[in-house]
Structure formats: C-alpha cells, structure tokens
Amino acid sequence: MSWLVKQVVNSGRLHSASRNRALQLVRAYATSGKTMTVRDALNSAIDEEMGADHRVFMMGEEVGEYQGAYKITKGLLEKYGPERVIDTPITEAGFAGIGVGAAYKDLKPIIEFMTFNFSMQAIDHIINSAAKSNYMSAGQISVPIVFRGPNGAAAGVGAQHSQCYAAWYGSCPGLKVLAPYSAEDARGLLKAAIRDPDPVVFLENEILYGESFPISDEVLDSNFTLPIGKAKIERLGKDVTITAFSKMVGYALKAADILAEDGISAEVVNLRSIRPLDRATINESVRKTNRLVTLEEGFPQHGVGAEICTSVVEDSFGYLDAPVERISGADIPMPYAANFEKMAVPQIEDIVRAAKRACYRSA
C-alpha cells in the first residue's frame, strides 16, 4: 500500500482527515462504550481509502448529490468532488462495464449497485469482464474493482427486490465475495476489498445499515483491514456449529442465546467471506462440536449451505454425530404479503429448532 500513497499528492493530509471522519462518526453514536453503525463503518472505509489513494473512485446511481440511496456515500461528493464521486444514469451494464474498463487501466473503482438485485443487469460484466480477464489475459490485465450494495431480503418489496446473491457470485472463479455482518466486518472487509488487486463482490444488507455495533480503537485505525477468506468465530460453543453470514449472523447469535437457556452451547461462525470460503475454520469448529447447522437467506438448491455441507462431508465426515441441518430461504420467489414473507426467510425459532434436532433434543 505504501507505494501507492507516495505517489499521491497531499495523501498524508487527506489520510488524517479521513481518520477524523471515522472518529467523528463514532462519537456521534457513542452511548456506553464506542459503537458505530454499519452505515458509518462503510462510509468511513470508503472515505479513508479514497483519501489514501487517489485512484479510488465511487460510481453508481445516486451516489453523489443524493448522498447514496441508503446514504452510504454521504458527504463524499462534497469532500472529493464530482470527478471522483460520479452519479451515473440508470445504466447498470454501462457503468459496471465502465468500472471494469477503468480497473483494466489501473484505477480502483467502487461500483455501487443501488441494490444487488440490479446487478442482474450487469452480471455479464461482473462474471465475464471482471472475473475472467486476469485469467484470459494470462495475468496481464488484473481488475481491482469492488461491486458493492445491499443484498438479500429487504422488507415488503416483493420478489424482484429481495434476493441473496451470495451463492450466485460465490460460484464464479476469479471473484472474491464478501458479506459483512458487524461494523467491524464492514470496515475491515471493505477496506481490504478496495485494496485487493482482484474483483470483489461486496454484499451488504439494508436492514443492518442502521444497526450499531461495539467498535474498538484497533478497528477505527485507518490501517485496519480484515483478511479476505477468513471466518470469525462470533461466539464460542461446544455442542453445535451454526454457520451464517450477513444479517443471519445476528439471528444465529440470538438463537444461541435461546439455546443456552436449554443448556445447548452453540458456536456461531460468521463466514465473512463466501469466496474464498474458510473451510479450515468451519471444519475445525465441526470437529469440536460434531454437529452443523448452516444458515442463509438465499435459495436452498446449490446454495452456500450446500457448499459448506460438502466441505464438511469431504473433510470431517467421521466427526459428524448428526445429519447436517440446512436452513435457507424457501424455494420460492419472495412473496409480498407480510406473513408469507416471514415464512419465506429463516426465523430465529427455525434455527433453534434445527440446532435442537442436531443435538437430538426435542423442541
């Protein structure tokens, strides 16, 4: 990173300004101990990386004057100007491809999809232009680009606006796919994604944007990043492993609280990275607990849970004491009616029930 910083005019000044930005955001939300919302974590990560490296720019619909459809890019236009915070027309294929072309030429674009549902219009560029170019060009053309935006089920927006893309992008070689849960995840993973030399699909969650999380000084440091491909044990346990990512980590943690009351100690693995998948951490946990529940909002078939299940069957088959429980979204397009919507995505009680089944305990 340091060589990048050197070639940037006034980088030091901007760098420290960015740092202050993160701290301001923290204070604004401080209650007891330091906390930060996921929104501010993402905002400060982009801000700091744009400050540190002038090749980083932000492009997408409503990212500038509107301050971001979900306000993730708030304040960036004023700070970096319209040359670096670029409002595009409604042209997903066009601006995603423009981002890829800019990345070919050594810029570092952050492409915001208003939601990942709209990335369907640009999937050709994510898969064909971004993910495959390094290989097709035999390493001549790398594509340091981040595609980011909210992913997964929102509330009451129907089938086309409520879908998880983790498994879709997770199946494509050449991509890295990250899904943060907490403010720490959001900051550390987004900063790592922006610095990464390869294309990264960064799946955020609309519901989590406003959620506050405790945050440490280490995470607030502008040098903080998280390693791509490494999961986090969010809660230690010994009886059953629950794997989850994004919003579902919160559900898993709540389920673990309920399970604890029944004397079941659940270990919660926050995947953080869908691709590469941290098979080592998952398997290590399963070898300890001997039971696995996979949890995701996406469709069941060929999903993230299916992949995790395979990895455990391949690496730790002999350690399993119970069939793997797979919890996913229902195998239907997302319905609109509130009661149906609730039935279509995993609920905390589903997790509790599955974990008890895995432990051979009746619900």
Residues known to be catalytic: 92, 161
303 binds another protein (CB under 8 A): no
Q: Which stretch binds another protein (CB under 8 A): 31-39, 141-149, 158-166, 234-242?
A: 141-149
198 binds another protein (CB under 8 A): yes
- Structure-derived torsion over alpha carbons of residues 262, 287, 326, 169, reported in degrees to the nearest 10: 130
Residue at token pair 């509130």: 338
Q: Contacting another protein (CB under 8 A), which of 51, 60, 64, 150?
A: 64
136 binds another protein (CB under 8 A): yes
| Count of residues touching another protein (by CB under 8 A) | 69
Retrieve residue 275's tokens.
Answer: 């691709």
315 binds another protein (CB under 8 A): yes
Q: Contacting another protein (CB under 8 A), which of 82, 156, 210, 333?
A: 82
Residue at token pair 């849970």: 305
Contact map string, positions 227 to 266, toward another protein, x by CB under 8 A: -xxx------------------------------------
Q: Contacting another protein (CB under 8 A), which of 39, 55, 235, 326?
A: 55
**Which residue, 211 or 315, has its beta carbon nearer to another protein?**
315
Q: Which stretch binds another protein (CB under 8 A): 32-40, 54-62, 317-325, 355-363?
A: 54-62
CA distance to 95, 282, 284, per residue, from 290 (Å): 47, 11, 10
19 binds another protein (CB under 8 A): no
**Alpha-carbon span 65 to 74, nearest angstrom:** 9
318 binds another protein (CB under 8 A): no
Q: Which of 324, 334, 230 is nearest to 279 (CA)?
A: 230
**Alpha-carbon span 164 to 246, nearest angstrom:** 10
**Alpha-carbon span 126 to 201, nearest angstrom:** 8
Residue 132's contacts (CB-CB under 8 Å, 6 or more residues apart) are 174
**Which residue, 228 or 248, has its beta carbon nearer to another protein?**
228
Retrieve residue 224's tokens.
Answer: 């903080």
**Alpha-carbon span 60 to 219, nearest angstrom:** 27
Buried b (16+ CB within 10 A) or exposed e, 215-233: beeebbebebbbebbebbe
**Alpha-carbon span 73 to 53, nearest angstrom:** 17
Q: Which stretch binds another protein (CB under 8 A): 11-19, 26-34, 139-147, 159-167?
A: 139-147
Residue at token pair 């996921």: 38
Q: Which residues bind another protein (CB under 8 A)?
A: 9, 54-55, 57, 64-65, 77-78, 81-84, 86-89, 91, 93-107, 109, 124-125, 128-129, 133-144, 173-174, 176, 196-198, 228-230, 273, 275-281, 283-284, 315
